[in-house]
Amino acid sequence: MFEPAEIDLLKSKLPQNHLKPLKKKTGLSYATLNRFFNYIQIRRYNAEAIYDACLEVIQEFEQEKALRKMKMRSLTNQRLESGTPEI
């Protein structure tokens, strides 16, 4: 259903610990998740559920990363404004 290139793109964008949140979101077994990522054919509705869950996990990961960067900039700017030395 999904091309290997699409699955590879998903894998490259997912965080390293992606199986646990995917299992939680989809309710599917680790074996089914691994089959999907190893290009082994699974049921269409399972593949679609995994694909959609991957997109959600990627979006959450990117939002968390952006929030961390924003917090770091905020802390760095506060230190510069207050004159306290950076560690």
Give, as one character, the DSSP assignment of residue 17. Answer: T
- Rounded Cα distance between 48 and 70, Å, is 33
* Alpha carbons 85 and 11: distance in angstroms, whole number: 40
> How high is the pLDDT of residue 65?
93
Instruction: Read off the pLDDT of residues 51-62 as tens digits, 9 standing for 90 and up.
Output: 999 999 999 999
Spans of all domains in the chain: 4-82
Residues in the chain with pLDDT < 70? 79-87
